[in-house]
Structure 1
Amino acid sequence: MATVITEECINCGACEPECPNTAIYEGGAQWELNGATTPAIKDDLYYIVPDKCTECVGFFDQEQCAAVCPVDCCIPDPNIPETDEVLIERARVLHPDQTFGAEYPSRFRKG
C-alpha cells in the first residue's frame, strides 16, 4: 500500500525531507515524475504521491514519514494495497542508478 497522510496532519513538514523517493509534497504544491509536472493532490495538507511511494521498501524497514510524524498521521493506505514485490519494483524504476540486493530493507520483513 502506498502511505497516505490523514486529515490529522498538522502541516509540520517533518515528513517531507525524510522520503527517499521525494513522494511527499506540501499542500497545493505540484508534483513531478519523469519530467512531467502534475497538479497537487491536496491543497491544504501535505500529501504523498502513490506512484512515487515505496513505503520506504528498499531503503528502510519502516516508513520514515511515519517514524518522524508527531501525530501519527502517516499510515498505509487501505485503498491502495500493494505487495513488497510491487514496492521494490517501483523503487528500482524510481532509482535506476541504485542496486537493491536480495536482502533489501522492507517493513514486510520486519520481526
Structure 2
Amino acid sequence: MTKALLNNYSVVNSLEVPMLYLAHRESTWLGFGYAVVLWLAMLTSAIVNGGVLAFRLAKDYHSYPFIVVFLLVIAAGFSNAGFSALVKTIYPLFGYLNLAVLATIVVKYISN
C-alpha cells in the first residue's frame, strides 16, 4: 500500500482519498468494492459514535429524538467541508478531548 502511494505520489498527492483512486485505477470493481467498504466503515462509526453521544446528552439535556435530530443537523452542516478538511480539524480535536477524558479517569482512579 505504501509503495503504491509513493510510486504514484505525483498523481495522488492532491486527492481526498488516494487509495480509492488507486483501487479504481487497478479495476473498476476493485474501486467500487473499496468505496463500499470505506463508506460502510465510516457509516458504522458515525452511527455508533452518534448514538452513544445522543444517549449521553439525552440523559442530561433533552429528549433522545431531539438530540438525534440536532446531531444530524450539525453533521449535515459539516458534510460540505470535505473529507481531508474534516480529518485535519476534527481528528486532533477528538484526540485532545480524549486526553482530557483520560486525565479525568486517572485523577478519579488515583483519588479513590
**Same fold by TM (over 0.5)?**
no
Question: Which TM-score applies when normalising by structure 1?
Answer: 0.24
Q: Which has the higher contact order (CA 8 A, sep 6+)?
A: 1
- Comparing both structures, which one devotes a greater share of its residues to helix? 2
Q: Which protein shows a greater Rg?
A: 2
- Comparing both structures, which one devotes a greater share of its residues to strand? 1
